Amino acid sequence: MKSIAALQNLVTPWSDGLEPSAAELDATEREMPLIEARVELLDAQIAVLDRTPSVLDERRIRRARNRVLAARRDLTNQAAAEVGMAGGAA
């Protein structure tokens, strides 16, 4: 019996560039509060997909939306402060 072997290279050759860079990991870490807030909002919205939201459900969704807005605000302010510090005074 003959053995079967691949005679061609892999379709997608392995590349060292597949791992995230340190800068990408830092950016993800900075955005983690926003990501977590969005996940919390999504969880609250999914919970009420198949039923009428109760007063507590509405409150949970409203609080989750407020956390998303606060996380966006903090992230935007942090980015603006970094740009302001890097740009220097005019």
- Each residue's pLDDT tens digit, 29-61: 999 999 999 999 999 999 999 999 999 999 999
Question: What pLDDT score was predicted for residue 34?
Answer: 97
Residue 20's pLDDT is 84
Mean pLDDT of the chain: 86
State the Cα angle at 35 between 69 and 60, rounded to 5°. 55
pLDDT value at position 51? 94
d(CA 60, CA 33): 17
Q: What is the mean pLDDT of residues 22-28?
A: 91
pLDDT the model gives residue 10: 56
